[in-house]
Amino acid sequence: MKLLILGGTKFLGKHITEIALARGHQVTLFNRGQTNPDLFPQVEKIHGDREHNLSVLDGHESWDAVIDTSGYFPRIVRLSAEALKSRVGLYVFISTISVYSDNKTHGQTEDAPVATLDDPTVEEITGESYGGLKVLCERAVEEVFGPDHMLIIRPGLIVGPDDPTDRFTYWPVRIAQGGDVVAPGRPERRVEIIDVRDLAEWTIKMAENHATGIYNASGPLNGIRMDGIFEQAKQVSSSDARFVWMDEHWLLDQGVQPWMELPMWLPENDDGLIQMDVSKAVNAGLTFRPIADTLRDTLAWDRTRPQPIERHAGMQPEREKELLEKWRAKES
């Protein structure tokens, strides 16, 4: 199969490229050549800007599928789709679980209502605009390619090696350090995440089969218990960590920020996006490796990063110490 990947050198795109090559596909990368430019020296690379010079694709061969891992603004996604319509059989667009307008209801399917924007021309990514922009990107792909040549994948929280966000990496790293660890909410709460390698492999297999439609891609079915994730992280790092489970209402009263300051945690009345219905993707072949493998590999990768690391998510040690002291005083 001949694949064109828009992006292809960062996190999900990098893993999609690796798996496509491992499965024997002919890969072409189209990007600006600014992120990890030395990766994949054996691959054809076309350098260009999606907004201003898609014409560099003119004269190149056709592809069986394009995988768009870097589309965030509908105007630019539409430009890409229109430029490729006559030369690509399938447009695979990596969207997000954040497209849904309801953040509270558990078990939503792909047919659930999606977000809207008051100003559909906005081109600034914020917590309020991100989901709505991705909805419009999906719509642009559908309008250009039609439902028979379009595959929309809506991942949940993507985790694993090469994650630049630290939204999951914080936990195996912090737990490996040991000691008392602030743990949010109820231990038995369930969350859905997706290892980047599982998502990448499934994406390639779906493209191979010329699958179409829209799929939530997170999991596993019914999620994973938070205490299960933490205990596995403790085991893979041989840590002496002790988990101090704190009431989430108390944490909110202390001004703790869900999701970014304590990753994977959303208040229970607002956590629908980490407990979606992913049965359609599972029925289409999406599988999940053991969480211990994801934790172990994420920790090993993190230890290869240049030190010191400026974390983009997670609680600062001083803040954690303060919360632990307040919690003990309250409980005594």
- Tell me what percent of the residues of the chain surpass a pLDDT of 90: 96
pLDDT of residue 61: 82
| pLDDT tens, position by position, 260-310 | 999 999 999 999 999 999 999 999 999 999 999 999 999 999 999 998 999
pLDDT of residue 11: 98
Nearest-angstrom CA–CA distance, 298 and 316 = 20
> What is residue 222's three-state secondary structure?
coil
Residue corresponding to tokens 């090559």: 21
Residues 6+ apart with CB under 8 A from 220: 192, 278, 282, 288
CATH number of 170-191+223-270+290-331: 3.90.25
Distances (CA, A) of 82 to 1, 36, 67, 133, 143: 21, 27, 14, 18, 10
Domain extent listing, the chain: 2-155, 170-191+223-270+290-331
Would you say the pTM of this structure is higher than 0.85? yes
Closest CA to 168 of 213, 124, 226, 248: 226
- Kindly indicate whether the domain formed by 2-155 is annotated with CATH number 3.40.50.720: yes
Mean pLDDT of 162-178: 97
| pLDDT tens, position by position, 222-266 | 999 999 999 999 999 999 999 999 999 999 999 999 999 999 999
Residue 151 has pLDDT above 90, yes or no: yes
Nearest-angstrom CA–CA distance, 22 and 3 = 13
Token pair listed for 252: 């909110």
pLDDT of residue 307: 87
